[in-house]
Amino acid sequence: MNRRTPRLLIFDSGVGGLSIMADVQQLLPGCAITYASDNAAFPYGTKGEEELVQRVDAVLQALIQTVEPDVVVVACNSASTLALPHIRAHFKVPIVGVVPAIKPAAAQSRSKVIGLLATPGTVARAYTRDLIAQFASNCTVISLGSSELVQKAESHLRGKTVTTESLRELLSPMFAHPRFAEMDSLVLACTHFPLLRPQFQALLGPRITLVDSGEAIARRVSYWLEGLGLSPDATSAEHSAIFTRHSPDVEGLKPALRVLGITRVECQTI
């Protein structure tokens, strides 16, 4: 095994991918991670399909040239459910995508009533419908798409308080479903949403299990590193962040970035 420090690129439109970064760090603490936020095009969840594919392709081209990563994680459900086949055909570096955790949620559900919380684009996408048909055909799936929840998570990471009451209002269409009282699992199908896990759990109570893709993504990254013959060092590696647009909001993120060991923050206009 090669003992040099593996380089990972974790990429999202906003800061949701930081939830994925935390899971990767927990499993693979010896990797050097560059977290990239395409804040110039945030949010991805409201973009048209052609526009989104072209943007992800252009940004990844620039970032891969800068970072020279061993593995790329597209830590965005909106981008992954649409652009993965295209970008995997364009780049030689292994690319790990994030898809809604519908399969494990359906498998663990006893009531066979599960929730799906995502962006409007992910809820509407054929890829998501196919996942439901393949892995949750025996379940009632209560789906809700919300861009406002993405903004809530972004604000939370910048130190603003997100109350359970404000979340209750945004989740009210899900609560109004006639089978909501039977729902026992909720898929957090946007990487932003695990950032609000304590608030969601406080609102929904212990009856409902929250399911996301973070640990599965970390295991997939480990699989690729093993295949490349790369073994993370036991020592902690240095981490950095790249944003695609200068913004005052980036300053507000720095305390949260430091918690994840990100010590260098820069802007690369793309």
* Catalytic residue positions, numbered: 76, 190
Report how far Cα 241 is from the mean position of its chain's Cα atoms.
16
Place of tokens 């990254």: 221
For residue 112, the number of C-alpha atoms closer than 13 Å in the C-beta half-sphere is 5
DSSP per residue, 117-146 = EE-HHHHH-HHHHHHHHHH-TTSEEEEEE-
DSSP per residue, 201-231 = HHHH-TTSEEE-SHHHHHHHHHHHHHHTTB-
- Report the SS3 class of residue 188: strand
Cα torsion 158, 163, 164, 168: sign: negative
The β-bridge partners of 241 are 35, 265
